[in-house]
Amino acid sequence: MGNSLYKISEELSIIVSEIEEADGEMTDAQESLFAQLQNHLTNKTDSVVEYQKKRQDRIDAIDKRIKELQSMKSSESAALERFTSYVRNCMELLKTDKIEGEYGIIKTRKNPLSVNITDDKLIDSKYKVVTQSINIDKKQLADDLKSGKKIKGAELKRNPVAITFGG
């Protein structure tokens, strides 16, 4: 007798097929084996649910940690920006664009020019680019396919059965 969910399911399927072939009649051996397999299936189901819950808890813990790390990163980035601003202010106070230390150099440099749009309605149309997006109305497509219409490039399909775990 197998220990995996698949093996238990396979063995139960064989027993059920044998019983169906015998017009629903079970031998004592089949009845005993069927009861044992049902018991194994019940125990395995509990194990599978426990495994799934542990994996989901681990995923939830990872998601929580990711959020904590993102918050830490944001905080550290803001602190670094404040520090950089502090150093820039000190250099402006010193009226210098370069400070040399024993192990490093602090220098200022001009950033390249960038465009700041203050009111896009006032911008001449020659600077505007039109972009187009094509979306497919899947609801209407599904309705038409369900009504029997043949539509090239589309078909109805049934997604795999969803599995839910609970206790």
Residues in the chain: 167
Residue 66 located in a structural domain:
yes
**Nearest-angstrom CA–CA distance, 53 and 47:** 10
How many domains does the chain contain in total?
Answer: 1
Per-residue pLDDT tens digits for 85-130: 999 999 999 999 999 999 999 998 888 888 889 999 999 989 999 8
Q: Is residue 144 part of a domain?
A: no
Cα–Cα nearest to 12, from 162, 20, 143, 133: 20
For residue 99, being part of any structural domain is answered with: no
Is residue 58 domain-resident?
A: yes
Q: Is the pLDDT of residue 138 over 80?
A: yes
Q: What is the DSSP string of 120-158?
A: GGGS-GGG----------HHHHHHHHHTT---TT----P
Residue 23 lies in a domain: yes
Question: How far, in Å, CA of 50 to CA of 44, rounded?
Answer: 10
Q: What is the pTM of this model?
A: 0.57
Give the domain range for residue 54.
Answer: 5-77
Q: Is residue 90 part of a domain?
A: no
